Each structure stands twice: as structure tokens, then as C-alpha cells.
């Protein structure tokens, strides 16, 4: 495929969430300010953990994925379930032969963690000499993307992005670039993670950035931008988007949910864990420039907002610098306060939320934000549920350890 710059349409959405696998219900819960964070406990007789977390107890792989995929790592099962929803909504067929103009761009930070940990337990705790023979194949980072390409017959690029918490946002952004450049006409994109392994939890605990249950209980453990914020909350889940060349979507009569109009990426190139307002500013500025919109055209920003002591003020500093006088009128919320931090799936989940916000002209709040951190002032923080507002364009921020920044701009699907 070749030609000039193409517009990119969003034609399908899918999600695996703690409330089930329904995009509209997921968004409605967030609009109402409902928190999915619970006190998560596990104990298998050898190892245990207890912390605020977001788990997906209603996710049944046998029902949503089928017995043929039962051996997949949990993150790959979630990838498949969310992608199947998105593909159905897009109304695309599954061809008999691989479609070389259709691609997979997938994101994950911790794919295969549960598969590998189970293998280690078999060896170290049960004394077995071998792990299951497919452990390596099922646990590799690109397993989910490969499963998706095989099932949906996507014969174009099949790429996996692993840049910590910006993984899915980068995957979606790179899919957008591929369609814009004419390298494919359809892309199945998004991300998934299921980080509830003891090794991962202990590693996060060692960094001292996980929120405790606290006096307000597990449901209120994640409090972005709050003066008393105490850290992030781990979550599992998946989200998927179908992106299409605009002309291709229109020609086949697809319903266009939103336009992915801009994307920016940068690296702080300064520190492995401390974020930089300069790097975040650059990624946001690129997203505006590629979308061809001004800062004043953005009505809602879904912030990265993880509720860490350093991260939240730095993000707001970058936002204030970029948006200038418009910052005080920019609606901002951090939905991780309700759905937690899905690691590599976060960017896809929050991109889906932005599309839903545009479709419903409604903004989910930052839950539990009762006492605003002074360093986070200067924007319009959405704190109450059910805020309705005419939205033209939204920005979604994803920032990661390692200094990777990925930012997307979505807008209403205006006529050609």
C-alpha cells in the first residue's frame, strides 16, 4: 500500500474489566465514580500476598476464549477476549487466507509472568525437574499478538511493544502511523497484562510505590492528585481497538466511533524512574501537532495520574506549560483511581475511555479527590461523577518507567 497521509478511524472497542466484558457498562461504572479496587488476598499454602488491587473475577477464559485457548497465559486470554469484542463491533470478516493489509500492534509490560512463575513453582516448590513443554511459547511477550494474528488472519505486521506502562499507548500510536503511511489499512491494537504474580508484587513493593489499604479502605487506596495520595494500585485487564484507514471504513459502511487524529512519543533520557516534565511536554506537543489542533481545542485530558508522590505534580507541570491560559478550562481526570494501573494495558484502556467520552459527551471523575495537592492546581479537575460536556477532542497520556512517553489525541468523527 502507498500514497499520502491517511485519516485513521476507530471502528471497534473491546475490554476485559473487573465488571465484566462490556464496554458501555465499564464506562458507565467509571462515570458513576465506582471503584473496582478491592483488598486482594491470595494464599496457596506456600506463598501469599495482601494488598489493594483490581482483579477480574468474572473473566472466564473457558466461556470467553474457548477450550482451544485454555493453555494461554492469562494476559493472552484477556487479549483474545477484548479483541474479539472489538472485531465484532467493527463488523469485519475473518478471511479464509491471511490479509496482508491487516496488522496487529499489541502492548504488554509483563506478558507471560504467570506462566513462568507457575513453572518456577513446579520446580522449586514441588520438586519437579521439568516445566510444561509449551511454557516458553505461551509465556513469550509476543504470544498474544501471534494468537490474534493467527485467529483473525492478520497477515501484515505483527508487532509487540513492551515499554512498561506506556506499552499499549505506543502500540496504538504505531498502528496509527502505519495506517497513516499506507502500510496497512486495518490494525487490531491494544494491550493486556495480568501482573498478579507474587514476584511482580514483591518487586513493586520493594520500590515502595504501592498504595496500602489505609484508613479509607481498599476502594479509596488510589488517590491521584490528592494531598494524601500514597501510591499506585496494580490491576489486570485488557482493552482493544480496531483502527482503519478512514476511506476503507467509509467504503464498507462501518460506524466510525472516533478519529485517532494525533500521536506523540518521546523519551525523558534522564532517569529510569523519575519522570521529566520536559519529556512529557514534548510528547503532548507532538500529539497536538500531528493532529493539527491547538491546545485550546482539547476539552478533556485523561491523565496518566498514578497517585505517586513525584509523578502527579510533574505531569500537571507539563500540562500547565503546554496548555497555558487554556489549562484552567481543561477538564482533567485520572481514571486509575477506579480501574487501577493495568501496566501495559493502561494506554489502551484509557484510549477506550477517551473514545467513550467523545461518544457520550461525558467525563469520568478522579475518584477520592477530596483534598487537592497544591502542586497539582491549575487545571479543572473533574471530581464529581456524571459530568456531561460537549467534547470535541480528548488527549490520553501514558508515561512509563524508563522515561518513555506516549500521547494520543482523539476527536469527534467529523465528516470528510
Side-by-side strand order, sheet with 237-245? 158-161, 102-107, 186-193, 237-245, 8-16, 258-267, 404-411, 393-399, 300-302, 331-333, 380-381
Whether 56 is catalytic is: no
Kindly name the residue from 55, 147, 339, 341 that is annotated as catalytic: 341
d(CA 343, CA 168): 9
Instruction: In whole angstroms, give the CA distance from residue 215 to residue 135.
Output: 41
- Taking the CA atoms of 43, 47, 50 and 56 in sequence, report the sign of the dihedral they define: negative
Nearest alpha carbon to residue 19 among 3, 34, 1: 34
Q: What DSSP designation does 212 have?
A: P
Distance in angstroms between the alpha carbons of the first and the last residue of the chain: 21
Per-residue burial over 394-407, b = 16 or more CB atoms within 10 Å of its CB, e = otherwise:
bbbbbbbbebbbbb
Where do the H-state alpha helices sit in 56-142? 61-64, 74-90, 113-124, 135-139
The active-site residue, picked from 56, 165, 265, 354, is 165
Instruction: For CA atoms 144, 353, 196, 210, give the dihedral sign.
Output: positive
CB 380 within 8 A of CB 43: no
Which member of 55, 147, 304, 381 is catalytic? 304
Q: Strand (E) positions, 163-321?
A: 186-193, 234-235, 237-245, 258-267, 300-302
Report d(CA 312, CA 228) in Å as an integer.
12
User: Catalytic: 165?
Assistant: yes
Q: Cell digits for 232?
A: 499506585
With contact defined as beta carbons under 8 Å apart, do 63 and 55 qualify?
no
- Tell me the catalytic residues: 165, 304, 341
Amino acid at each position: 500500500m502507498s500514497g499520502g497521509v491517511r485519516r485513521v478511524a476507530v471502528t471497534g472497542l473491546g475490554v476485559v474489566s473487573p465488571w465484566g466484558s462490556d464496554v458501555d457498562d465499564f464506562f458507565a461504572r467509571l462515570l458513576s465514580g465506582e471503584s473496582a479496587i478491592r483488598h486482594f488476598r491470595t494464599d496457596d499454602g506456600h506463598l501469599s500476598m495482601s494488598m489493594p488491587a483490581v482483579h477480574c473475577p468474572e473473566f472466564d477464559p473457558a466461556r470467553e476464549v474457548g477450550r482451544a485457548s485454555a493453555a494461554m497465559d492469562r494476559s493472552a486470554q484477556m487479549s483474545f477476549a477484548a479483541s474479539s469484542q472489538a472485531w465484532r463491533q467493527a463488523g469485519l470478516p475473518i478471511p479464509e487466507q491471511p490479509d496482508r493489509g491487516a496488522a496487529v500492534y499489541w502492548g504488554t509490560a509483563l506478558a507471560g509472568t504467570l506462566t513462568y512463575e507457575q513453572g518456577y513453582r513446579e520446580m522449586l516448590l514441588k520438586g519437579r525437574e521439568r516445566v510444561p513443554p509449551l511454557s516458553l511459547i505461551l509465556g513469550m511477550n509476543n504470544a498474544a499478538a501471534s494468537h490474534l494474528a493467527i485467529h483473525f488472519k492478520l497477515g501484515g505486521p505483527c508487532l509487540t511493544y513492551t515499554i512498561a506502562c506506556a506499552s499499549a499507548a505506543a502500540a496504538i500510536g504505531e498502528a496509527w502511523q502505519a495506517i497513516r503511511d499506507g502500510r496497512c489499512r486495518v490494525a487490531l491494537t491494544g494491550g493486556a497484562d495480568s501482573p498478579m504474580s507474587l514476584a511482580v508484587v514483591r518487586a513493586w513493593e520493594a520500590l515502595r510505590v504501592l498504595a496500602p489499604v489505609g484508613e479509607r479502605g481498599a476502594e479509596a487506596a488510589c488517590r491521584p492528585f490528592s494531598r494524601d495520595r500514597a501510591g499506585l494500585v496494580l490491576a489486570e485487564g485488557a482493552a482493544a481497538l480496531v483502527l482503519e484507514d478512514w476511506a476503507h471504513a467509509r467504503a464498507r459502511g462501518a460506524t466510525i466511533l472516533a478519529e485517532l487524529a494525533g500521536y506523540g512519543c518521546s523519551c525523558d533520557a534522564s532517569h529510569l524512574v523519575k519522570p521529566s516534565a520536559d519529556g512529557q511536554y514534548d510528547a503532548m506537543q507532538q500529539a497536538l501537532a500531528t493532529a493539527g489542533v491547538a491546545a485550546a481545542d482539547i476539552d478533556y485530558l485523561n491523565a496518566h495520574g498514578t497517585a505517586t508522590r513525584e509523578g502527579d505534580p510533574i505531569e500537571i507541570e507539563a500540562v500547565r506549560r503546554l496548555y497555558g491560559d487554556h489549562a484552567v478550562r481543561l477538564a482533567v481526570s485520572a481514571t486509575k483511581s477506579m480501574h487501577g494501573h493495568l501496566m501495559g494495558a493502561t494506554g489502551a484502556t484509557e484510549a477506550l475511555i477517551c473514545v467513550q467520552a467523545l461518544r457520550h459527551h461525558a467525563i469520568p471523575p478522579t475518584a477520592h479527590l477530596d483534598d487537592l495537592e497544591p502542586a497539582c492546581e491549575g487545571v479543572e479537575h473533574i471530581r464529581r461523577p456524571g459530568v456531561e460536556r460537549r467534547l470535541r477532542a480528548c488527549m490520553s497520556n501514558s508515561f512509563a518507567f524508563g522515561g518513555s512517553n506516549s500521547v494520543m489525541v482523539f476527536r469527534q468523527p467529523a465528516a470528510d
